[in-house]
Amino acid sequence: GAVVSQHPSWVICKSGTSVKIECRSLDFQATTMFWYRQFPKQSLMLMATSNEGSKATYEQGVEKDKFLINHASLTLSTLTVTSAHPEDSSFYICSASESSYEQYFGPGTRLTVT
Partner 1 sequence: TQLLEQSPQFLSIQEGENLTVYCNSSSVFSSLQWYRQEPGEGPVLLVTVVTGGEVKKLKRLTFQFGDARKDSSLHITAAQPGDTGLYLCAGAPPGGSNYKLTFGKGTLLTVNP
Which residues of this chain interact with partner 1, rule CB under 8 A? Answer: 2, 4, 6, 31-32, 34, 41-44, 46, 49, 57, 91, 93, 95, 97, 100-108, 110
CA angle 91, 48, 5 (to 5 degrees): 50
Contact 92, 80 (CB under 8 A): no
Q: Which is nearer to partner 1, 7 or 82 (CB)?
A: 7
Chain centre to alpha carbon of residue 1: 20
Shortest spacing between CB 82 and partner 1, in angstroms:
24
Shortest spacing between CB 65 and partner 1, in angstroms:
22
**Among 64, 86, 65, 72, which Cα is nearest to 17's?**
86
Q: Which is nearer to partner 1, 16 or 67 (CB)?
A: 67
